[in-house]
Amino acid sequence: MAAARLPLLLFPLLLLAASCVAQQDSPRFRCSAAGARCQALAGYVVNNETTYEAIRALFQVNSIQDLYSFNNRSATTPASTRVSNGTLVRVPFPCACNSNGTGVANPAPVYTVALGDFLYKIATENFKGFISVDQIVAANTRITNPSEIDVGWRLQIPLPCSCDAVDGAQVVHLAYVVAKGDSLEGIATRFGTTEATLSRINNISNPRNLRESQVLDVPLQGAASPPGSPPGSGSPPSSGPSGSPPGSGSPPSSGPSGSPPGSGSPPSSGPSMSPPGSGSPPGSGSSPPGSGAHAVRPQLWGLPWSWTQPLLLVVAPLYSALLLLALL
């Protein structure tokens, strides 16, 4: 009888192991020229309607005009202009290549811990998975216990980036979080590059292994630098607010002002603070999901690994303990 129940005992442990294997690594972009500096971009997808000023404040972009220049917005657009759900906003930030061959935001945005925050929430909800909890801990020596952070702490957010040329051409590197239904071919078409280039830059041997929430380094062909960007950076790509080809997507409607500028923590009307998956799904309002030959593989029970792994960490040991008691 005990031998017959052994597979039942092992089943939750196998699920737990599978979830750990599937967990996404900390995003790192190759940046080979140590000391090089450039302008990089983060492809921030809005989950709850917000304002350009709220996004500017979260990422601490120097000026609202710098943000507008990469998103085809007029310099006279009010900072309180609403940004609708599903819009991909290209957020500029300064990048520097480290001696270890990777690039990171320098200076990095600084996030002020608010009531109810914890590192996983900051990494996956506030900053949309561009960074991992481990990377936040490594960048902030005052964190000795990742489960204990205090309200008011100012945390460095080490966004991944690159300054490398691609195929001999200067490009602007965009950090893009893979959405449900994305394919490598579809992403390449959307941003004007090729599947082969994305595979090479991101060390993807099989496009079918593309994962939801994976952070890709997407090179954007550009020209000159926008006002206020560092020397050697590229110009803003010519795309609409949603990150789709020129002319697609309508400009967001204007509305009342969001949170006050300059806050390190996300404004109350700003980027999503709700659980992952609330609001419109990332990538909506842009090119149709699932285009191309290799779509993102389904996640466990239809849920992203960011949800199922913590659940399995609790359920699997409890299930195993109950079975052990039953075997006694």
**What stretch of H or E contains 325?**
helix 305-327
pLDDT tens, residue by residue, 172-224: 999 999 999 999 999 999 999 999 999 999 999 999 999 999 999 999 986 33
Q: Tell me, what amino acid is at 193?
A: T
pLDDT tens, residue by residue, 237-264: 444 444 444 333 334 444 444 434 444 4
The single residue listed with the structure tokens 């690159």 is: 162
pLDDT given at position 326: 72
Long-range Cβ contact pairs of 5-9 (< 8 A, separation 24 or more): 5/323, 5/326, 5/327, 8/323, 9/320, 9/323, 9/324, 9/327
Mean pLDDT (whole number) for 121-144: 96
Domain boundaries, the chain: 2-21+305-327, 31-297
| Terminal CA-CA length for the chain | 11
Mean pLDDT (whole number) for 129-138: 96
Instruction: Give the whole-angstrom CA distance, residue 258 versus residue 269.
Output: 6
Q: Please, which residues have CB within 8 angstroms of residue 44's CB and are 6 or more apart in sequence?
A: 55, 59, 88, 89, 90, 91, 128, 271
What percent of the chain has pLDDT above 70? 62
Mean pLDDT (whole number) for 54-60: 97
Rounded to the nearest angstrom, the gap between the alpha carbon of residue 266 and the centroid of all alpha carbons in its chain is: 15
pLDDT given at position 322: 77
pTM (2 d.p.)? 0.66
